[in-house]
């Protein structure tokens, strides 16, 4: 897949904890409703410091219309399109895209854990996942010393080993 400048942008190059993959078309009436909702949600998550990226795949071949819609609506996420009809057909086949918009949610390793969602479903699913992740993170002991270190878990520094010359003679290794 290539971005609006013709530069190849593989899905695996997206570095984010959560990746939303959306297949869409600017002339699709459902997309015209869902894409602005996704943009608002995406912008709010990014502003809140959530590591998320949208990988938006154009599902047709009218590139000028696609580029104009992106520019007009300030879609500042990863926008890509297939370079030709066979590549587009292959992408649609592998992602089971029969209609637009089609939305998937992927984890950091790009494993799908939410599929064929609308934006409301994405929001409910992802908000629950973010809350679970925050709860897990807050359950970790923040200031308890870690064995073998001199600092708490938030800033770990390993203790320096005692030099052999400073050990009692019975403990000097042979």
The enclosing domain of 129 has a CATH number of 3.40.30.10
> Which residues span the domain enclosing 53?
11-139
Q: Is residue 157 included in any domain, yes or no?
A: no
At residue 95, the pLDDT reads: 85
Least confident span in 23-37, 47-61, 147-161? 147-161
Q: Is residue 30 included in any domain, yes or no?
A: yes
CA distance linking residue 126 with residue 7, whole number of Å: 30
Q: How many domains does the chain have?
A: 1
pTM comes to: 0.77
Q: Is residue 151 included in any domain, yes or no?
A: no
Q: Is residue 69 included in any domain, yes or no?
A: yes
> Residue 129 CB: number of other CB atoms within 10 A?
16
Q: Mean pLDDT across the stretch 66-80?
A: 95
Encode pLDDT of 83-121 as tens digits. 889 988 988 888 889 899 999 999 999 999 899 999 999
Encode pLDDT of 141-167 as tens digits. 665 555 555 554 444 444 455 454 454
CA distance linking residue 54 with residue 19, whole number of Å: 6
Q: Mean pLDDT across the stretch 18-44?
A: 96
pLDDT band at 174 (very low <50, low <70, confident <90, very high): very low
Q: Is residue 103 included in any domain, yes or no?
A: yes
User: How much is the mean pLDDT over the chain?
Assistant: 84
Q: Is residue 161 included in any domain, yes or no?
A: no
Q: Percentage of the chain with pLDDT > 70?
A: 80
Q: Is residue 145 included in any domain, yes or no?
A: no
CA distance linking residue 65 with residue 26, whole number of Å: 7
Residue 132 has pLDDT above 70, yes or no: yes
Q: Is residue 24 included in any domain, yes or no?
A: yes
């Amino acid at each position: 897949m290539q971005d609006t400048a013709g530069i190849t942008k593989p899905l695996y190059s997206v570095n984010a904890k959560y990746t939303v993959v959306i297949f869409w078309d600017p002339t699709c009436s459902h997309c015209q409703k869902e894409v602005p909702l996704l943009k608002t949600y995406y912008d709010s998550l990014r502003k809140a410091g959530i590591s998320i990226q949208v990988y938006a795949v154009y599902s047709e071949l009218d590139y000028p219309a696609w580029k104009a819609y992106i520019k007009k609506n300030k879609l500042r996420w990863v926008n890509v399109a297939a370079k030709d009809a066979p590549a587009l057909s292959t992408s649609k086949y592998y992602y089971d895209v029969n209609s637009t918009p089609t939305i998937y949610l992927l984890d950091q390793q790009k494993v799908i854990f939410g599929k064929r969602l609308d934006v409301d479903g994405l929001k409910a699913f992802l908000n629950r996942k973010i809350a679970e992740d925050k709860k897990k993170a807050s359950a970790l002991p923040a200031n308890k010393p870690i064995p073998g270190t001199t600092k708490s878990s938030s800033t770990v520094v390993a203790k320096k080993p005692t030099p052999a010359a400073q050990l009692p003679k019975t403990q000097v290794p042979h």
